[in-house]
Structure 1
């Protein structure tokens, strides 16, 4: 079974087009089983504003107090997960929303309880639960929320959650959905880059703006042990005629054949 983990950030959910779902359908027709991990940052920030809570970040991670954790879970499981599952069902897919803490799907450890609060890193992925959904014909749609040993919920960075799920499932690849077709260098989409090339492009400014955190997320996935990582579009077909379209990031040294 060829598993593909697809990470959809909260900022791209509203931009997903029919082409995205067409690609998803073609993936499945070609023997791939997708697993989706999603975020919900913009919606969380909106809800925090309504509750008068200031969003705080440290080293790119959301500082999560008890009240913030409640809002994070409410938005991710009750809003963005429902939204994405609804879009999938509307497009003819069997989607199963899974809150990461349900059934111990994602188990985690506190990163820095004093400095970050209820923020964690995934220690265990319940692959049996996810595989059971896949084998029953569902696309698992997972929120990046884990349960700690003390039974409390942990907020997990969505990119790191996707990487952990991909590694645990021995996924064929982990794809990060963006609003562009891939990495643009000197006006052209590049289909293949190495980690070293990416680092160089960031350093010299040819990868800039919103693409920088997306690419860094992809590099973090590789660092966690995921072998094949891609940047793909949520607006255009990323898989067509049994071929991937986007930017594939390889190991630091390109292997010559």
Structure 2
């Protein structure tokens, strides 16, 4: 069976629609107030969509099972054995932990993975001979996401994709989030992290850059202003800028009422724009 990827919708169908990407470990560390803010946004008519990762938890489970973790250019080498653990961790424990926290705050959430309903269609990445069952997104069934939203639930999506023959793929959470945002018509995406934004040294002090282009980020990495553990965070955020997604906002999830403040236009974190 071949499933053709659907075309992205030209515009968001509902006011207040936004996509939020967050790592599983970051979400686990967020205070209850973050989820209360999310619940209030949902109650006031906003429509959040969450795409999450879970790299550290996957590595931890692989270690417990005695399975080696290997990476090539930041992508986890994924065999069928590794993929079983990836799916168990992302679609199982992490996904349901997020759903439980949302519902404990009074919100309504429904957890699923990209396999469910062929939500995230994928095919092998170009260097699949090196990384194995890692996929790139070929389509997102936007009607599933919008249908869940229409029922009054927050979709919580684990980034495992599938092709027309039923083969699963490990999908980078950032690229999955960018694809979901683009296909459902969300022009911007919020990346929730544990840092206040992209930092730069000005007059000897670290300050948050309110806005930066992709070209400027590469220059900041080149001159050493962005370094160490911030480099993969920033590159991951840039991976989200695809299709109709024209900006990504990096924010610290521990900032009080960060989601509602960003959605109201308050200058928090760093906005990454194409140009």
TM-score (normalizing by structure 2): 0.86
Which ranges of structure 2 fall in alignment gaps of 5 or more residues? 1-13
- Does 2:122 match 1:103? no
Contact preservation (8 Å) 1:181, 1:246: yes
Provide the C-alpha distance between the structure 2 equivalents of 1:29 and 1:204, rounded to a whole number of angstroms: 45
Structure 1 residue aligned with 2:163, among 148, 155, 160? 148
* Structure 1 residues 210 and 19, CA gap change in structure 2 (3 angstroms): farther
* TM-align CA RMSD: 1.7
Q: Does 1:87 align with 2:101?
A: yes
The answer on 1:64 being equivalent to 2:91 is: no
SS at match of 2:241: helix
Does the 8 A contact of 1:26 with 1:239 survive in 2? no
Using the size of structure 1 for normalisation, the TM-score is 0.92
Structure 1 residues 35, 77: CA separation in 2 closer, same or farther (over 3 Å shift)?
A: same
Contact 1:238/1:246 (8 A) holds in 2: no
Change (3 A) 1:90 1:41: same
Question: In the alignment, is residue 226 of structure 1 matched against residue 245 of structure 2?
Answer: yes
Q: Which stretch shifts more, 209-218 or 72-81?
A: 209-218
Q: What whole-Å deviation, never above 9, does each CA across 1:178-234 have from its counterpart, x for those lacking one?
A: 102211222112222222222222111111222211211222222444112110111
- Alpha-carbon distance, 1:5 to partner: 0.9
Of 60-69 and 113-122, more deviation after overlay is shown by 113-122
Q: Please tell me whether residue 243 in structure 1 is matched to residue 265 in structure 2.
A: yes
Structure 1 gap ranges (5+):
253-257
Superposed displacement of residue 76, structure 1: 0.8
Corresponding position of 2:149: 134
Give, in whole Å, the separation in 2 of the partners of 1:161 and 1:223: 10
Deviation at residue 109 of structure 1 after TM alignment: 0.5
| Mapped partners of 2:40, 2:198: distance in 1 | 23
